[in-house]
Amino acid sequence: MCEPSGMESWQPIPRAQPFVPKRGGWYNSQAVIARPLGRRRVLTKIFQVLLVVVLLITIGINIMFILDTSRRLHDEVLTTGGGEELVDGKNRRNNLRLQESQPKSLAIEVVSSQSKVSVSVDGTTILEDDEEHKRRGIHVLVLNQASGSVMAQRTFDTYSPHEDEAMALFLNMVSDGRIIIFAIKDEGTFQMKQPARDLLKRLGSKRAQVIGWRDMWAMATQKGAKMFGESYSKSTEFNTWGAPVVLRTEVPLVPVEDSECDWADTEENRRRREFCNHIEGYGSVCSCTDPAPLIFNPEPVPNNQVHDVPVAIIASNRPHYLYRMLRSLLSAHGANPEMITVFIDGYFEEPLEVTKLFGLRGIQHTPIGVKNARISQHYKATLTATFNIFPNAKHAIVLEEDLDVSPDFFSYFSQTLRLLEEDEMLYCISAWNDQGYEHTSDDPSLLYRVETMPGLGWLLKRSLYKDELEFKWPTPDKMWDWDMWMRLPEVRKGRECVIPDVSRTYHFGSSGLNMNSYFQDVYFKKHSFNTQPSVELKNVDSVKKNNYEELIVSLIKRGTVLDHSKSPCEENFVPDKKGEVNIMFIKMEEPKDFVTWLQVAKCFKIWDLDARGYHKSMWRMHLKGSEMLVIGVPNSEYAKYKPSNITPIYLEPQKRKTKVR
């Protein structure tokens, strides 16, 4: 049996003293090294504790920031109405702006000179007009204050009368905040009166009161805010122009949401928003606080015979005219938007946008021909398309973009449509009376027959166009007026048109191929226009062929022949007595002898550029509250009623004026 080893047999000694190493030797050196290692551990622990404290403080600050931000956003949503955010996201877009970049600015350069105007934005030319002898006057450009995009472009020939008024009207219709740029080409102040100058001053111009004959001028401003820059060059002599001016300026942009209105989300306002965000110059339709209505609910016309008759609007690139016209048309009693189509001669954006603004059908087509031939081809394309779109339509109403319509426009055609079916010697019903001025028309319930097709709002049969007119319509190489062509004997074939004594349309357009402000003032401004909403026409059957002859003869027989020793140009030629039938006889040797009539028309201050509105060489109108019949002798069938002692009046011709439509 083996003996146990020393370790296995070791027993502790209860009273033994603990071992304490002596100083010096190996154990003492180990103790000296251990002391600095302990201090490092302490410093490390302290540093770690400090890091933990800093981290906790940082976390606390972030949590407080997040909570504070959430509270503020929540309060903003409550303030603006949190329910709307779920509808269209507008409030979320308006409130959460932390990620949006700061608005930038536009570098704008404007040139004004005798032969050229131009506007460039950030180096890109957005307007340049250097065509000789065209677009004289003040060029106006409207830019979006958030994007810099072009919202409107107009030229006002302020060398001509009333163009300054048109410019003022346009500028007043531009929304506040829009950027407006002005530049003169050639001459822009000859007819610019004080109200227009005052308006330019209110827009920030320092030169508006001193811009003169052939001076050059350019300005960039923000409506309702500040003027960014203006340049001016004075003409030193009457026969010279001011030196070209170049305006360079920086225009700051604003956030998109600051340039838009917060309209309620409706079908009407969706159209409004689409239009107003990129088209300008339409006034209250784009008002943020009180926008003009786009949906009309006019009174119905009882037993409306034209409810399903298509209405074709002849339009070009005159969008403001179209806007005005459509508002009056859609407000007329009995209007049916489903039957209205706007036909635009050319691919112009703004007229189509105006059409869409009202929720109507718009069709653009490629222009054919030039000048009058182009207008003629536009009419043909419009009529063809109208009867193709509505293959079951037996009639169509044709209107032009520069016409107001009366409240009873559709009622008038509803009451007269049957005449086209019942009288084969009629080929149109018109809403316009060529001789119907404020002083020559009196009775809105009265109808006439005339040989000259008036246009300006008229009704025709499908069969007339498809069977007679379409295939022989003047070709694009014929520089003819379409309405003059329709008055030719071989087209008219002895047929006539029915017209009202008081017109149901009003011609307001002062610019166009055959129109300017002078002719508008002289020949159209004082035309009568019915404003009564419900007019019952008087004895509609009286204008049927045989009935009308009996009516005219009865008027002649009970009429009073005026004193033919006086000139019709004298104020007392027509007595101041109402309710009478007055008759005068004028010299008229053959059907086209209108020499005396045109001088009489001048005296009466009515249309005197050519002969219109007659029936069998007899003109019918009102003067001083009485009916007036002017009968051509010997050409008229009614010449036989001339008393033997009366000599027909003859007036010498005067110098002819330039013909316009």
Q: Which of 164, 186, 345, 402 is catalytic?
A: 402
- Specify the pTM: 0.80
Active site residue 541: no
Tokens at residue 281, please?
Answer: 């110059």
Cross-strand bridge partners of residue 633: 587
| Residue 327 zone, left/alpha/beta (φ > 0; ψ -120 to 50; rest) | alpha
Q: Which of 129, 262, 483, 593 is catalytic?
A: 483
DSSP lists the bridge partners of residue 121 as: 108, 124
443 included as an active-site residue = no
Q: What pLDDT score was predicted for residue 49?
A: 74
Output the pLDDT for position 656.
53
Break the chain down into helix, strand, coil percent, rounded to 5: 35, 20, 45
At 68 the three-state DSSP class reads helix
d(CA 420, CA 383): 18
pLDDT for 442 equals 94
* 497 contacts 450 by C-beta, under 8 angstroms: yes
Which CA distances in Å does 234 have to 17, 112, 212?
121, 12, 7
Residue 522 confidence (pLDDT): 82
Residues with pLDDT less than 70, the chain: 1-40, 42, 65-103, 511-515, 654-661
Domains of the chain: 105-257 (no CATH), 261-294 (no CATH), 311-540 (3.90.550.10), 544-641 (no CATH)
Q: What is the dihedral of CA 286, 287, 289, 290, to 10 degrees?
A: -90
